[in-house]
Amino acid sequence: MVENEENKIIEKENEALNKIQEEQEEAKEKIGEWIPKTRLGKMVKEGKIGSIEQIFLNGYKILEPEIVDFFIPDLKIDFIRLGLSIGKYRRPKIVKMVRRKTAEGDKPSWVALAVVGNGNGYVGVGLGKSYDIPLAMQKAVRKAKLNIIPVGRGCGAWECACGNPHSVPFKVRGKVGSVEVVFIPAPLGTGLVAPDEIKKLLVLAGIKDVWMQSFGQTRRRINFIRAAFLALKQTMEYGIKQDYVRLSGLRFGFIQ
Protein backbone atom coordinates (compact mmCIF):
# COMPACT_ATOMS: atom_id res chain seq x y z
CA MET A 1 0.00 0.00 0.00
CA VAL A 2 2.77 2.40 0.98
CA GLU A 3 4.84 1.51 -2.10
CA ASN A 4 1.84 2.25 -4.35
CA GLU A 5 1.50 5.70 -2.80
CA GLU A 6 5.22 6.34 -3.25
CA ASN A 7 5.01 5.27 -6.91
CA LYS A 8 2.15 7.71 -7.44
CA ILE A 9 4.23 10.51 -5.94
CA ILE A 10 7.17 9.72 -8.25
CA GLU A 11 4.82 9.63 -11.25
CA LYS A 12 3.48 13.06 -10.31
CA GLU A 13 7.05 14.34 -10.02
CA ASN A 14 7.90 13.09 -13.51
CA GLU A 15 4.72 14.60 -14.97
CA ALA A 16 5.50 17.92 -13.30
CA LEU A 17 9.10 17.83 -14.62
CA ASN A 18 7.89 17.30 -18.18
CA LYS A 19 5.34 20.07 -17.80
CA ILE A 20 7.93 22.50 -16.45
CA GLN A 21 10.27 21.76 -19.38
CA GLU A 22 7.42 22.34 -21.84
CA GLU A 23 6.50 25.60 -20.13
CA GLN A 24 10.12 26.72 -20.29
CA GLU A 25 10.24 26.07 -24.03
CA GLU A 26 6.94 27.91 -24.53
CA ALA A 27 8.23 30.86 -22.49
CA LYS A 28 11.23 31.17 -24.84
CA GLU A 29 8.95 31.25 -27.88
CA LYS A 30 6.40 33.67 -26.38
CA ILE A 31 8.84 36.06 -24.73
CA GLY A 32 8.01 38.64 -27.40
CA GLU A 33 4.36 38.61 -26.24
CA TRP A 34 5.34 39.26 -22.63
CA ILE A 35 3.52 42.22 -21.03
CA PRO A 36 5.64 43.52 -18.12
CA LYS A 37 4.01 44.65 -14.88
CA THR A 38 6.93 46.23 -13.02
CA ARG A 39 9.03 49.31 -13.78
CA LEU A 40 12.12 47.19 -14.34
CA GLY A 41 10.21 44.88 -16.68
CA LYS A 42 9.00 47.84 -18.74
CA MET A 43 12.56 49.21 -18.98
CA VAL A 44 13.76 45.82 -20.22
CA LYS A 45 10.94 45.57 -22.76
CA GLU A 46 11.61 49.09 -24.06
CA GLY A 47 15.32 48.36 -24.49
CA LYS A 48 16.54 50.81 -21.82
CA ILE A 49 18.37 47.94 -20.14
CA GLY A 50 20.37 45.86 -22.57
CA SER A 51 21.75 43.06 -20.38
CA ILE A 52 21.23 41.35 -17.06
CA GLU A 53 24.61 42.70 -15.91
CA GLN A 54 23.13 46.22 -15.91
CA ILE A 55 20.39 45.06 -13.56
CA PHE A 56 22.89 43.94 -10.92
CA LEU A 57 25.24 46.90 -11.43
CA ASN A 58 22.37 49.34 -10.82
CA GLY A 59 21.02 47.37 -7.86
CA TYR A 60 17.58 46.62 -9.30
CA LYS A 61 15.48 43.86 -7.75
CA ILE A 62 14.03 41.28 -10.15
CA LEU A 63 10.31 40.77 -9.47
CA GLU A 64 9.31 39.05 -12.72
CA PRO A 65 10.79 35.71 -13.84
CA GLU A 66 10.23 36.74 -17.46
CA ILE A 67 13.13 39.19 -17.11
CA VAL A 68 15.48 36.25 -16.52
CA ASP A 69 13.99 34.35 -19.47
CA PHE A 70 14.45 37.46 -21.63
CA PHE A 71 18.18 37.85 -20.94
CA ILE A 72 19.13 34.18 -20.35
CA PRO A 73 17.30 32.09 -22.96
CA ASP A 74 19.55 29.04 -22.36
CA LEU A 75 18.54 28.74 -18.69
CA LYS A 76 18.63 25.19 -17.32
CA ILE A 77 16.45 23.84 -14.50
CA ASP A 78 17.26 21.10 -12.00
CA PHE A 79 15.80 19.91 -8.70
CA ILE A 80 17.50 18.85 -5.48
CA ARG A 81 16.66 15.44 -4.04
CA LEU A 82 15.07 15.96 -0.64
CA GLY A 83 14.54 12.33 0.39
CA LEU A 84 14.08 8.70 -0.55
CA SER A 85 10.89 6.77 -1.18
CA ILE A 86 9.66 4.17 1.30
CA GLY A 87 9.86 0.54 0.25
CA LYS A 88 12.21 -1.96 -1.30
CA TYR A 89 13.98 0.18 -3.91
CA ARG A 90 14.32 3.53 -2.03
CA ARG A 91 14.21 5.73 -5.11
CA PRO A 92 15.14 9.41 -4.71
CA LYS A 93 12.35 11.98 -4.43
CA ILE A 94 12.54 15.66 -5.29
CA VAL A 95 9.56 16.64 -3.12
CA LYS A 96 9.15 16.32 0.61
CA MET A 97 5.95 16.14 2.63
CA VAL A 98 5.59 18.53 5.57
CA ARG A 99 2.71 18.80 8.02
CA ARG A 100 1.19 21.71 9.91
CA LYS A 101 -0.78 21.21 13.10
CA THR A 102 -4.18 22.91 13.15
CA ALA A 103 -7.32 22.67 15.27
CA GLU A 104 -8.89 20.56 12.50
CA GLY A 105 -5.92 18.17 12.41
CA ASP A 106 -2.72 17.78 10.36
CA LYS A 107 -2.61 19.64 7.04
CA PRO A 108 -0.04 18.08 4.68
CA SER A 109 1.78 20.03 1.97
CA TRP A 110 4.76 19.49 -0.33
CA VAL A 111 8.13 21.23 -0.55
CA ALA A 112 10.48 21.33 -3.58
CA LEU A 113 13.91 22.94 -4.03
CA ALA A 114 14.88 24.09 -7.54
CA VAL A 115 18.20 25.27 -8.97
CA VAL A 116 18.41 27.31 -12.19
CA GLY A 117 21.44 28.53 -14.09
CA ASN A 118 23.04 28.91 -17.49
CA GLY A 119 26.30 27.14 -16.66
CA ASN A 120 28.12 30.40 -17.31
CA GLY A 121 28.14 32.60 -14.23
CA TYR A 122 24.49 32.86 -13.20
CA VAL A 123 22.69 30.62 -10.71
CA GLY A 124 19.60 30.78 -8.50
CA VAL A 125 17.96 28.66 -5.80
CA GLY A 126 14.26 28.67 -4.89
CA LEU A 127 12.06 26.85 -2.38
CA GLY A 128 8.44 26.14 -3.31
CA LYS A 129 5.67 24.92 -1.02
CA SER A 130 2.10 23.95 -1.90
CA TYR A 131 -0.63 21.41 -1.24
CA ASP A 132 -0.03 20.04 -4.77
CA ILE A 133 3.24 18.50 -6.04
CA PRO A 134 3.35 20.18 -9.51
CA LEU A 135 2.44 23.56 -8.02
CA ALA A 136 5.21 23.29 -5.41
CA MET A 137 7.76 22.53 -8.13
CA GLN A 138 6.55 25.41 -10.31
CA LYS A 139 6.78 27.80 -7.35
CA ALA A 140 10.33 26.61 -6.68
CA VAL A 141 11.38 27.35 -10.28
CA ARG A 142 9.77 30.79 -10.18
CA LYS A 143 11.52 31.72 -6.91
CA ALA A 144 14.83 30.37 -8.20
CA LYS A 145 14.61 32.70 -11.20
CA LEU A 146 13.84 35.66 -8.94
CA ASN A 147 16.81 34.77 -6.69
CA ILE A 148 19.33 34.45 -9.54
CA ILE A 149 22.75 35.99 -8.88
CA PRO A 150 26.03 36.46 -10.78
CA VAL A 151 28.94 34.34 -9.57
CA GLY A 152 32.56 35.40 -9.50
CA ARG A 153 34.95 32.88 -11.05
CA GLY A 154 38.71 32.77 -11.33
CA CYS A 155 41.79 30.74 -10.51
CA GLY A 156 42.49 31.23 -6.82
CA ALA A 157 44.62 28.10 -6.35
CA TRP A 158 48.31 28.76 -5.75
CA GLU A 159 49.13 25.33 -7.28
CA CYS A 160 47.71 26.43 -10.63
CA ALA A 161 47.69 30.23 -11.12
CA CYS A 162 46.67 29.76 -14.77
CA GLY A 163 44.47 32.88 -14.79
CA ASN A 164 41.46 31.07 -16.28
CA PRO A 165 38.03 31.37 -14.60
CA HIS A 166 37.54 27.66 -13.82
CA SER A 167 37.22 27.78 -10.01
CA VAL A 168 36.26 30.17 -7.22
CA PRO A 169 38.64 33.15 -7.03
CA PHE A 170 39.24 32.78 -3.27
CA LYS A 171 38.03 30.83 -0.25
CA VAL A 172 34.36 31.54 0.47
CA ARG A 173 31.95 30.24 3.09
CA GLY A 174 28.23 30.30 3.77
CA LYS A 175 26.23 29.30 6.82
CA VAL A 176 22.52 28.54 7.32
CA GLY A 177 21.42 27.17 10.67
CA SER A 178 24.04 24.68 11.86
CA VAL A 179 25.25 23.92 8.32
CA GLU A 180 28.41 25.62 7.07
CA VAL A 181 29.85 25.15 3.59
CA VAL A 182 33.34 26.24 2.52
CA PHE A 183 34.51 26.35 -1.10
CA ILE A 184 38.28 26.29 -1.65
CA PRO A 185 39.94 27.10 -5.02
CA ALA A 186 41.32 24.01 -6.76
CA PRO A 187 43.84 23.70 -9.62
CA LEU A 188 42.74 22.99 -13.17
CA GLY A 189 41.70 19.36 -13.72
CA THR A 190 40.72 18.62 -10.11
CA GLY A 191 36.99 18.49 -10.82
CA LEU A 192 34.19 19.09 -8.33
CA VAL A 193 35.12 17.51 -5.01
CA ALA A 194 31.64 17.84 -3.51
CA PRO A 195 28.44 15.81 -2.94
CA ASP A 196 26.21 15.13 -5.94
CA GLU A 197 23.51 17.63 -4.94
CA ILE A 198 26.06 20.41 -4.45
CA LYS A 199 27.53 19.52 -7.84
CA LYS A 200 24.20 20.44 -9.46
CA LEU A 201 24.56 23.96 -8.06
CA LEU A 202 28.21 24.28 -9.07
CA VAL A 203 27.67 22.98 -12.61
CA LEU A 204 24.82 25.43 -13.23
CA ALA A 205 27.03 28.22 -11.86
CA GLY A 206 29.80 27.34 -14.34
CA ILE A 207 32.42 26.22 -11.81
CA LYS A 208 34.56 23.28 -12.97
CA ASP A 209 37.15 22.75 -10.21
CA VAL A 210 36.67 23.22 -6.46
CA TRP A 211 37.30 21.60 -3.08
CA MET A 212 34.51 21.68 -0.52
CA GLN A 213 34.34 21.40 3.25
CA SER A 214 31.10 21.11 5.23
CA PHE A 215 30.21 21.24 8.91
CA GLY A 216 27.04 20.72 10.94
CA GLN A 217 23.86 18.78 10.11
CA THR A 218 24.46 18.46 6.37
CA ARG A 219 21.67 15.87 6.05
CA ARG A 220 19.33 18.87 6.34
CA ARG A 221 19.36 19.16 2.57
CA ILE A 222 17.58 22.51 2.26
CA ASN A 223 19.99 24.27 4.65
CA PHE A 224 22.90 22.48 2.94
CA ILE A 225 22.02 23.89 -0.49
CA ARG A 226 21.22 27.34 0.89
CA ALA A 227 24.59 27.50 2.66
CA ALA A 228 26.36 26.58 -0.60
CA PHE A 229 24.35 29.26 -2.43
CA LEU A 230 25.35 31.89 0.15
CA ALA A 231 28.99 30.83 -0.26
CA LEU A 232 28.79 31.44 -4.02
CA LYS A 233 27.14 34.79 -3.31
CA GLN A 234 30.21 35.78 -1.30
CA THR A 235 32.29 35.77 -4.50
CA MET A 236 30.54 39.05 -5.42
CA GLU A 237 30.66 40.76 -2.03
CA TYR A 238 34.38 41.01 -1.19
CA GLY A 239 36.50 44.02 -1.99
CA ILE A 240 39.39 42.82 -4.18
CA LYS A 241 42.62 44.55 -5.15
CA GLN A 242 43.24 45.05 -8.85
CA ASP A 243 46.54 43.16 -8.70
CA TYR A 244 44.73 40.04 -7.49
CA VAL A 245 42.00 40.49 -10.10
CA ARG A 246 44.67 40.39 -12.81
CA LEU A 247 46.54 37.48 -11.19
CA SER A 248 43.50 35.25 -10.61
CA GLY A 249 41.70 36.10 -13.84
CA LEU A 250 38.60 37.07 -11.86
CA ARG A 251 35.44 37.41 -13.96
CA PHE A 252 31.91 38.17 -12.87
CA GLY A 253 28.80 36.67 -14.43
CA PHE A 254 28.62 35.81 -18.12
CA ILE A 255 31.86 35.10 -20.02
CA GLN A 256 32.01 34.96 -23.81
Lowest mean pLDDT among 108-112, 183-187, 220-224, 243-247: 243-247
**pLDDT tens, 192-205?**
999 999 999 999 99
Q: Please determine, for residue 247, whether its predicted confidence score (pLDDT) is greater than 80.
A: no
Asked if domains 2-149 and 151-252 share a fold, the reply is: no
pLDDT at 42: 92
**pLDDT tens, 27-74?**
777 788 888 999 999 999 998 998 898 999 888 999 999 999 999 988
CATH code that applies to domain 151-252: 3.30.230.10
High-pLDDT (> 70) share of the chain, %: 93
- Interhelix angle 221-233/196-205, nearest 10 degrees: 30
pLDDT at 88: 59
pTM metric for this prediction: 0.89
| Strands of 62-206, DSSP E | 76-79, 83-84, 92-93, 95-102, 105-117, 122-130, 149-150, 152-153, 172-176, 179-185, 192-193
CATH code that applies to domain 2-149: 3.30.160.20
Domain boundaries, the chain: 2-149, 151-252
